[in-house]
Amino acid sequence: MIKYTKREMPDLDKVGSTKAYYKVDAVGLIDSERLVDYMANMGAGVSKAMAKAVLAQLSSTITHFLSIGYNVSIEGLGQVSLKIGPKKGREVEDIEDGGPKRNATSLEVTGINFRVDKHFLNEVNMACTLERGETKRLQKSPYSKEERLQKLKAYLTKHNNIDIQSYANMVKMTYSSAYRELEKFVADSASGISTKGRKHYKVYVLAKE
């Protein structure tokens, strides 16, 4: 039995109603040691040493082929591929001329993509029995908009800048709500808030008088 929760989505379009999405409440994490134990005890003639060796070899083999430009497909599981992007502190380049340009030395592997095999997905779906849990609402800030602005300004008088997540934590808002509010502050010249940087490396500062 798998318990899931229903969670509230932000009202991004400001239509006055919110939609729900669903999230599995995991009961824990199975590490590789426990996975090896389970494989060895399934009665398929696989020893713990063999199972551990296969997992280690699988990891290093996938690493090898990804590193020379291949995607790797594992039948019954899915396909693995690389995700690349600018190194930390480097801006994403604009597709148009005139923006910052990135060369190979400024890029790195930033993640691994995994596209699940449809048969595997169906097998997992057939094996699962779902049970509804609690409903979770979006976190609402206990402060008014004016109080949040004052807290932001007080913070920025002591610090050079603030990022979105830090502001969200400070005023107890979701990340997306905090981002939208900060952008509204920046758009309102009377707020005294400005911004530095671009896209993923944007921070918020006190506007210069």
CATH code: domain of residue 183: 1.10.10.10
* Domain co-membership, 17 together with 90: yes
Residue 120 is assigned to a structural domain of this protein: yes
Quote the pLDDT of residue 34: 93
Same domain, 101 and 122: yes
Q: Alpha carbon of 6 to those of 58, 85, 190: distances in Å?
A: 36, 33, 39
Residue type, 176: S
- Helix, strand and coil in the chain, % to nearest 5: 40, 25, 35
pLDDT of residue 135: 81
Cβ-Cβ contacts under 8 Å for 207 (sequence gap 6 or more): 189, 191, 192, 193, 194
Same domain? For 122 and 180 the reply is: no
157 residue type, one letter: T
Q: What is the pLDDT of residues 77-91, one digit of tens each?
A: 999 999 998 887 776
Encode burial over 61-70: b for 16+ CB neighbours within 10 A, e otherwise.
eeeeebeeee
**Residue 162: predicted pLDDT:** 94
Examine residue 140 and state whether it is found in any structural domain, yes or no: no
Q: What is the pLDDT of residue 105?
A: 84
Q: For residue 44, give its domain range.
A: 2-135
pLDDT tens digit at each of 209 positions of the chain = 899 998 877 665 555 566 788 989 888 989 999 999 999 988 778 899 999 999 999 999 999 999 999 999 999 999 999 999 888 777 666 666 655 566 778 889 999 999 999 999 999 999 999 999 888 776 778 999 999 999 999 999 999 899 998 999 999 988 888 888 999 999 999 999 999 887 667 899 999 86
121 shares its domain with 18: yes
- The first and second tokens of residue 198, run together, are 């671009």
In a domain, 9, yes or no: yes
Identify the pLDDT of residue 17.
60
- The pLDDT score that the predictor gives to residue 92 is 65
193: helix, coil or strand? Answer: strand
Say yes or no: 129 and 153 in one domain: no
Q: Give the per-residue pLDDT at 134.
A: 83
Whole-angstrom Cα distance, residue 204 to residue 140?
Answer: 22
**Do 190 and 131 sit in the same domain of this protein?**
no
For position 123, which CATH number holds?
A: 4.10.520.10
Contact yes or no for 29/11 (Cβ under 8 A): no
Domains in the chain, number: 2
